[in-house]
Structure 1
Amino acid sequence: MAAIVHGFDWPDRFVTGTVGEPGARTFYLQAQEGKRVVSVALEKQQSAALADGVDAVLDQLMTEDDNRYSIPDAAPDGLADDDPLADPVEEEFRVGEMRLAWDPSTAQVVIQASRLLLDEDGTVVEEDEPGEVLVVRLPVGAARAFAARTRTVVTQGRPLCPICEEPMDPDGHVCPVADGLE
């Protein structure tokens, strides 16, 4: 069976965003090209790792002689996207594995997010080929802007306890360090 590929070669928009309140947020990658919108759910940690990975790829390319791809060290002015996710947010799938690549022929970062497949018991099923995948190709400036926005979204969660550094709920927090539990 052939994989379902949601491909975006030059998306109008590619962002990380959330739905829900801090502590109960669902994270999404959302790609948009014209009226076509694809949203896939992922974990907060996956979002943070993706932002770090995008910047790491670009930072490595900047070290090449003459920076031949004109990699910026930060998102260029005018590329920041602070708008909310496009409504309605309809989850295509939940992300399992992600891959990151560089395409020198187009000077684009390539992000591939594959569907997480679980069996009846909730155990992850390993697939030889992903059944469904989101593939987004971003030019370098848009990739820097994506990484910056993603970091901002990740840090907008619950405040951290200054003692144990665990997230604090709005209705209270039992600190294991302050209570002598650690």
Structure 2
Amino acid sequence: MSRSVHVFRTPDRFVAGTVGQPGDRAFYLQAVHQSRVVSVLLEKQQVQVLAERIGALLDEVARRFGTEVPPAVTSVTDLSPLVMPVDAEFRVGTMGLGWDAEAGSVVVELLAITETELDESVVLADDADDGPDAVRVFLSPLAAREFATRSERVIGAGRPPCPICGNPLDADGHMCVRLNGYRRGVAFGTAQPEQ
């Protein structure tokens, strides 16, 4: 069976989003162009790394090539939820990120999890007939900055962190690893020994 490569050269939107309640959320990236919608499933940490690396890539492009890129943005114009129903094409295993100097675009490539090892030096923009399914998205520098900012907001919208250990708090309480066998209530009142 040949692979599917979904290419979005001028997407109407490319966003991170979630389905589910905090603590039980599934993370997706979704590319949309007119009526065409492609969603992929991935881990929260992958979204976080991608957002951070996009910012770093744009900063490096500006520094190394003198290309004018917009600074990091604090507001996002696209706050809409994911297009429903979300039907993931695949789960992301490997991600690639690059700069297309000719088009002046950030290139994001998302590859499906595969059993075989990939040569990461040729992952980006590889259209061979064999290999994992892929989604390739070309973003303007401004769209890439907005993607990163929205992604950070999506990540931050989960469960609040414990003020003591930093791990996520559950709705029904939290066993803090830094309290050494003592359990505190959700309001972090007086410590009581664990029964």
2:117 paired residue number? 126
| Letter aligned with residue 157 of structure 2 | Q
Among 79, 82, 103, which residue is 2:79 paired with?
A: 82
Count of aligned positions: 172
Task: Quote the Cα distance in structure 2 between the aligned partners of 1:155 and 1:126.
Answer: 33
Deviation at 1:155, TM superposition (A): 1.0
CA distance in 1, matches of 2:42, 2:170: 22
Matched, 1:104 2:101: yes
Q: Percent identity?
A: 46
Alignment deviations for residues 5-60 of structure 1 (CA, whole Å, 9 cap, x no partner): 01100100000000001111000000000000000000000000000110000011
Q: Identify the residue that residue 157 of structure 1 maps to in structure 2.
A: 158
Q: Which amino acid aligns with 1:155?
A: G
Letter in 1 for 2:31: A
Deviation at 1:161, TM superposition (A): 0.5
CA–CA separation in structure 2 for the residues paired with 1:12 and 1:134: 15
TM-score by length of 1: 0.88
Q: What residue in structure 1 maps to residue 138 of structure 2? A: 137
Checking the alignment, whether the CA contact within 8 Å between 1:98 and 1:111 is kept in structure 2 is yes
Q: Which residue of 1 aligns with 2:167?
A: 166
CA drift at 1:62: 1.9
Q: Which amino acid aligns with 2:154?
A: V
- Counterpart CA distance in 2 for 1:102 and 1:76 is 23
The reply to whether residue 178 of structure 1 matches residue 179 of structure 2 is yes
Q: 2: CA distance between counterparts of 1:72 and 1:135? A: 22
Question: Letter of the aligned partner of 1:174 in structure 2?
Answer: M
Maintained 8 Å contact 2:159/2:170: yes
Query: Is 1:56 paired with 2:56?
Result: yes
TM-score between the two structures when normalised by the length of structure 2: 0.82
Gap regions ≥5 residues in structure 2: 120-129, 183-195
Residue in structure 2 matched with residue 121 of structure 1 by the alignment: none
Task: Quote the Cα distance in structure 1 between the aligned partners of 2:169 and 2:180.
Answer: 15
Pairing of 1:9-20 with structure 2 (within 5 A): 9-20=9-20
Measured on the aligned residues, the alpha-carbon RMSD in Å equals: 1.9
Name the CA distance, whole Å, in 2 between partners of 1:59 and 1:102. Answer: 11
* CA displacement at 1:131 relative to structure 2: 2.1
Match of 1:120 in 2: none
- Offset of 1:180 from its aligned partner? 4.4
Name the counterpart of 1:114: 111
